[in-house]
Structure 1
Amino acid sequence: MFINDTILKVRYAETDKMGIVHNSRYYIWFEVARDEYIEKLDITYKELEDMGIMMPLVETHCKYLEGAKYGDEILIKTSVIEISGVKVVFNYDVFRNSDKKLLAKGGTTQAFVNSKEFKIVNIKKKYPEVWKLFEKLM
């Protein structure tokens, strides 16, 4: 299984009055990490969209274990834990890079849909070249 590492630095604007990263920011971080992961497939999300494939979120979750703070360097380990022709499930483990402390665990599920009708599409059948890219990382 392929795991991609994404490193981010917590910006002041991402924190709340308590000086801790606001919970909504983790989902933005997940998107950044997912984008980087897909680029490791030798294709960008933009290229997938240009082919007519979109990946809307159908489920997301995050368990917060300890708050990240302004200035912390964050390491997000992203992996695919399930893939079928019609969906992909990503896992995210968020660490403080300095001490490798696990701060949060999350996941997202994306469906594969065509961009014209926004209907579920089986990429295994309709886009076998894209399926092969995803499959090689499992």
Structure 2
Amino acid sequence: MQSETQFIARYAETDQMGIVHHSNYPIWFEAGRTDFLKKSGMANSKIEELGILLPLSHIDCAFKSPARYEGEIMVKTPLWEMSRARIEFEYEIVKDKGGAPTAIGGASHARADKSLKPLNIEKKLPERWCILKKAMG
């Protein structure tokens, strides 16, 4: 499964040259992850209501070409890898409806309880574990 999240690059996200500032890409990654989780059947807010947190443990981003003000942006988000205590997403940000990639990256999130202790998702939510395993293909 892969989610596709679309939006327009906003003025506040750009620098003086009209190019999207690099600090926005992690925010766009988060939008893709949030959309992926919602489309897979359990929104991040629901996950948190169940006492499960997804603290970020690693993020990377490689910039390919600039995104610009008012450009159409799509964040493609597949689930890349998953273990009982970790979930990893890949991201590809493309511009202008399927145009050239502007950035690619990835992020790893631990699964933790509210005290930030590692949590085994297969034991805590076995049905959710199965859904996410299917989403990986």
> 2 CA distance for matches of 1:97 and 1:36?
20
Within 2, Cα distance between the matches of 1:23 and 1:129? 37
- The aligned counterpart of 2:80 is 81
Number of aligned positions between the proteins: 136
| Equivalent residue, structure 1, for 2:106 | 107
Structure 1 residues not aligned, in runs of 5+: none
Q: Which is further off, 126-135 or 104-113?
A: 126-135
Aligned to 2:44: 45
Following superposition, which runs of at least 4 residues in structure 1 exceed 6 angstroms of deviation? none
Letter of the 2:125 partner, please give it.
Y
1:1-138 alignment runs, 5 A limit: 2-98=1-97, 100-115=99-114, 117-138=115-136
Q: Between 120-129 and 79-88, report the one with greater CA deviation.
A: 120-129
TM-score normalised over the length of structure 2? 0.95
Alpha-carbon shift at residue 87 of structure 1 (Å): 0.4
Identity across matched positions, percent: 37
Structure 1 residue 102: deviation in Å?
0.9
User: Post-superposition shift, 1:97?
Assistant: 2.4
Assess if the C-alpha contact under 8 Å between 2:74 and 2:97 holds in 1. Answer: no
Q: What is the root-mean-square deviation in Å for CA atoms of aligned residues? A: 1.0
Inter-partner Cα distance in structure 2 for 1:8 and 1:61: 22
TM-score by length of 1: 0.94
Q: Which runs of 5+ in 2 are unaligned?
A: none
Deviation, 1:126, is 2.2
